[in-house]
């Protein structure tokens, strides 16, 4: 609704916008029409403001209470609406209505987040990313709450507060924000070797994703699926991005934090707004109990993954994010994800970390949102009918009629509404505790951890050895960077002692990077074993993704050849990539021949870290002017250092020379539009050896 108002000026020349239509007039929260929204009620024109002014009091009161407690972890998030469509029915595994037939669909709401930083921190630190999806299924909401790594730092929820306290800002000084490169986190890691597998992922390129659209997601835990006959099957959930997996370089990540704090949020929002709807395929690993019993690790251990080569991922559906939110607070800040939200046919395993999460999330939502009725907030409300006897509480939005607030009752016999009843067949039934992966169900409650959880090194070793040399170099560099920030020498030494159990070469390279001697290897409760290499764990062992969804930046100067710009734009469009034209000054660029082209952005405001490949289409005079432009030199030198493809016209060669861009297979003639677009989603990893030599 937009009011058709009349603009006038008040006694103090303040702008007054007024209407006479009752349907569009401004009111208080109680619907009382407001006559003046510019001035408080005073005792005379220059007198004191009166407490009687209820319009002022309500407005200020509401403003004072606009903010709610931010999430303790995952405070900074980006969200979108979408749909989920089943592509493969699995009734043999689950009785969940959603998965009974291919083509079934439901709405979803997805939230991607950093973990360590606050709501006002940056999008691109080295950090694990949350990957949470709320399915609005016909049998109630299903919240699949995971991360972009398939494992977690700890095995038991008892340790979650300790983990978070260690990685957050140090308690006595309030820094560093959104960073794990400090004493307390690595002290915790050094004393808790179960953290090492996820630490390896956090030190890898997975922790600095190119964008949220190029990020895998994992349910982490082993869940159950239960079919109509009550048969229980253990599964793990995976999200596979249709655009492929891609990461930033560390230097890009650091510079993006200065260039654009909202880079990931902006990228997701703009992609959806432009119709480039991100998609992920949902897959499951179906775990055979006999196979699981033979493994040297426990599949209920959240610090262990199941290699896809041994248990392939079966794709069962596709999520498409196709609508941005209407209001950041109402939807992003108030959305409440709870792993305990599952429809009939999906159930929990005895994973001790999962068991703790089933309590923690519900408790957190009540603390953040101030009421037990947070499920009535529209973004959290189910899209299917909801009936129960829960009543009252703060911010109750529903008005139940009649006396039926309990059951059993017989009020219907008196002609009154009796309310809902349990469905013994269609309702949620917890899987029977028969045998758990071949083992007998427990008969007593114990504070004990299974011996099968004791191997903390074999899977980190498998992960590291599954990476390419380039990726291993990135892990080494990340470890050196993080541990160099640790002031406690004994913590560095303890971490190195653990790294020796993962891979001796890894430990030596990290020690060399810090000019330290290698300590003795840490004592291992279970000797690590050499598991088969899993190529699926490596980003660079996968085929280079298509250019779709990538972004080309074209720097254009006055006098440039417009035909070259047009050819680059056409090639990008054909590959479903986006293009941004930059100029030293925002506005029209006069091309050779007198035509003009509008610039999408000024060079100074669009650093090369926001693009996947670069092109410089310049005249000789324009290139000469740019050789004295620090931002232009940075634009090219950073793009070259970040291993990106760069195309240029011959006239721009002096500019490239001054920026330190030397000729290689990824430095192309700007006339080779197809060649540039073919490299849009790739990087020149050979160039890294000369610019960013691995430690």
Residue 249: closest CA among 216, 205, 285: 205
CA distance 612 to 551: 5
DSSP tag of 495: H
Strands 601-602 and 578-583: parallel
Tell me the backbone φ, ψ of residue 285, rounded to 5 degrees. -100, 120
Rg over CA atoms, the chain: 29
Tell me the backbone φ, ψ of residue 418, rounded to 5 degrees. -95, -15
Beta carbons of 194 and 155 less than 8 angstroms apart: yes
Q: Is 95 annotated as a binding residue?
A: no
Residue 611: closest CA among 533, 541, 676: 676
Strands 645-648 and 613-617: parallel
Beta carbons of 86 and 316 less than 8 angstroms apart: yes
CA–chain centroid gap for 689, Å, is 30
CA distance 53 to 388: 42
Q: Is 368 annotated as a binding residue?
A: yes
Q: Is 136 annotated as a binding residue?
A: no
Q: Which residues contact residue 524 at a Cβ distance below 8 angstroms, ignoring those fewer than 6 apart?
A: 193, 456, 457, 501
Q: Is 42 annotated as a binding residue?
A: no
Tell me the backbone φ, ψ of residue 120, rounded to 5 degrees. -100, 15
Give start and end residues of each alpha helix (H) in 398-514.
458-466, 469-484, 489-502, 504-513
DSSP tag of 433: -
CA distance 643 to 355: 44
Residue 450: closest CA among 155, 233, 160, 195: 155
- Three-state SS letters, 563-611: HHHHHHHHHHHHCCCEEEEEECCCCEEECCCCCEEECCEEHHHCCHHHC
- Residue 533: beta bridge partners? none
Return the SS3 of 620: helix
Q: Is 361 annotated as a binding residue?
A: yes
What is the separation, in whole angstroms, between the first and last Cα of the chain?
A: 60
Beta carbons of 338 and 424 less than 8 angstroms apart: no
Q: Catalytic amino acids? A: 74, 147
- Residue 440: beta bridge partners? 435
Handedness of CA 181, 187, 192, 193 (dihedral sign): positive
Q: Is 160 annotated as a binding residue?
A: yes
Q: Cβ-count burial of 581 within 10 angstroms (0-12 exposed, 13-18 middle, 19+ buried)?
A: buried
Return the SS3 of 415: coil
Binding-site residues sit at: 71, 111, 160, 357, 361, 368
Binding-site residues for heme sit at: 71, 111, 160, 357, 361, 368
């Amino acid at each position: 609704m937009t009011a058709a108002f009349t603009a006038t000026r008040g006694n103090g020349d303040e702008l007054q916008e007024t209407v006479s239509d009752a349907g569009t007039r401004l009111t208080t929260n109680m619907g009382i029409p407001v006559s003046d929204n510019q001035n408080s009620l005073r005792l005379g024109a220059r007198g004191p403001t009166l407490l009687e002014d209820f319009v002022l009091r309500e407005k200020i009161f509401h403003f004072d209470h606009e903010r709610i407690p931010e999430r303790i972890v995952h405070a900074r998030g980006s969200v979108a609406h979408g749909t989920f469509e089943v592509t493969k029915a699995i009734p043999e595994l689950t009785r969940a209505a959603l998965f009974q037939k291919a083509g079934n669909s439901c709405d979803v709401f997805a939230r991607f987040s950093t973990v360590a930083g606050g709501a006002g921190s940056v999008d691109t630190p080295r950090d694990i990313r949350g990957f949470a999806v709320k399915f609005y299924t016909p049998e109630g909401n299903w919240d699949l709450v995971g991360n972009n790594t398939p494992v977690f730092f700890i095995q038991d929820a008892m340790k979650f507060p300790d983990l978070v306290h260690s990685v957050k800002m140090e308690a006595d000084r309030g820094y560093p924000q959104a960073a794990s490169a400090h004493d307390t986190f690595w002290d915790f890691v050094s004393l808790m070797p179960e953290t090492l597998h996820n630490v390896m992922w956090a030190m890898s390129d997975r922790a600095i994703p190119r964008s949220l659209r190029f990020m895998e997601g994992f349910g982490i835990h082993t869940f159950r699926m239960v079919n109509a006959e009550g048969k229980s099957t253990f599964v793990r959930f995976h999200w596979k991005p249709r655009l492929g997996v891609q990461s930033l370089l560390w230097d890009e990540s650091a510079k993006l934090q200065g260039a654009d704090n909202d880079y990931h949020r902006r990228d997701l929002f703009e992609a959806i707004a432009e119709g480039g709807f991100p998609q992920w395929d949902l897959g499951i690993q179906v775990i055979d109990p006999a196979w699981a019993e033979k493994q040297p690790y426990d599949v209920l251990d959240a610090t262990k993954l199941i290699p896809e080569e041994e248990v392939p991922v079966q794709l069962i559906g596709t999520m498409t994010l196709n609508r941005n939110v209407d209001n950041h607070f109402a939807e992003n800040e108030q959305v409440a994800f709870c792993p305990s939200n599952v429809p009939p046919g999906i159930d929990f395993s005895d994973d001790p970390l999962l068991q703790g999460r089933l309590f923690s999330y519900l408790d957190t939502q009540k603390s953040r949102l101030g009421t037990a009725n947070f499920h009535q907030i529209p973004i959290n409300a189910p899209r299917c009918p909801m009936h129960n006897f829960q009543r009252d509480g703060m911010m109750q939005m529903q008005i139940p009629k009649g006396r039926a607030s309990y059951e059993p009752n017989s009020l219907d016999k008196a002609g009154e509404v009796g309310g809902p009843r349990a469905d013994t067949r269609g309702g949620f039934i917890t899987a029977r505790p028969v045998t758990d992966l071949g083992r007998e169900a427990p008969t007593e409650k114990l504070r004990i951890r299974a011996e099968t959880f004791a191997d903390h090194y074999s899977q980190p070793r498998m992960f590291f050895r599954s990476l390419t040399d380039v990726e291993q170099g990135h892990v080494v560099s990340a470890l050196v960077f993080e541990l160099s920030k640790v002031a406690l020498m004994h913590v560095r030494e303890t971490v190195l002692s653990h790294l020796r159990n993962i891979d001796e070469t890894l430990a030596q390279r990290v020690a060399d990077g810090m000019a330290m001697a290698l300590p003795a290897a840490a004592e291992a409760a279970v000797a690590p074993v050499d598991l088969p290499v899993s190529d699926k764990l490596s980003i660079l062992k996968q085929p280079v993704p298509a250019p779709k969804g990538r972004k080309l930046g074209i720097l254009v100067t006055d006098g440039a050849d417009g035909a070259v710009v047009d050819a680059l734009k056409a090639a990008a469009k054909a590959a479903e990539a986006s293009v941004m034209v930059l100029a030293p000054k925002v506005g029209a660029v006069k091309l050779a021949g007198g035509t003009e082209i509008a610039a999408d952005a000024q060079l100074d405001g669009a650093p090369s870290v926001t693009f996947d490949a670069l092109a410089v289409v310049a005249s000789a005079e324009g290139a000469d002017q740019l050789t004295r432009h620090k931002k232009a030199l940075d634009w090219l030198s950073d793009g070259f250092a970040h291993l990106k493809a760069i195309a240029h016209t011959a006239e721009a060669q002096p500019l490239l020379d001054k920026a330190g861009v030397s000729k290689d297979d990824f430095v192309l003639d700007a006339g080779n539009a197809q060649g540039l677009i073919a490299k849009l989603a790739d990087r020149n990893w050979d160039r890294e050896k000369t610019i960013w030599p691995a430690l």
